[in-house]
Amino acid sequence: MNPNHSNTEHSNRLIRLKEAIHISGLSRASIYSFMEEGTFPQSVSLGVRAIGWRYQDIQNWILEKIQERDEKLIKQAELKAKQEKRYGR
């Protein structure tokens, strides 16, 4: 079995709302609100009354949120260090 095939298969797997809620930690309302704002991955139509999300899109969204947090913490630490240097603390 090709190991890349397994990764591709997993990343293209579609998940339903219940799993998207579980993975993201968001409520149903938040998911739909963020989708409307364009800040959460868009759903994929699976039929007349069914939608899903690409698993990898949700994972990428989570990683982006973590990166945003880390960048914010770095900027805060840099600002604090600059202020301490300026005021001799």
pLDDT for 7 equals 62
Q: Is the Cβ–Cβ distance between 26 and 17 less than 8 Å?
A: no
Local confidence pLDDT in tens for the 89 residues of the chain: 455 555 666 778 999 999 999 999 999 999 999 999 999 999 999 999 999 999 999 999 999 999 999 999 999 999 988 888 888 76
Number of H helices and number of E strands within the chain? 4, 3
pLDDT for 21 equals 98
Question: What is the reported pTM?
Answer: 0.77
pLDDT for 88 equals 73
Q: Is the Cβ–Cβ distance between 20 and 31 less than 8 Å?
A: yes
Centroid of chain to Cα 89: 38
Strand partners, 15: 53
pLDDT for 66 equals 98
Q: How far apart are CA 12 and CA 53, in angstroms?
A: 9
Q: Is the Cβ–Cβ distance between 47 and 14 less than 8 Å?
A: no
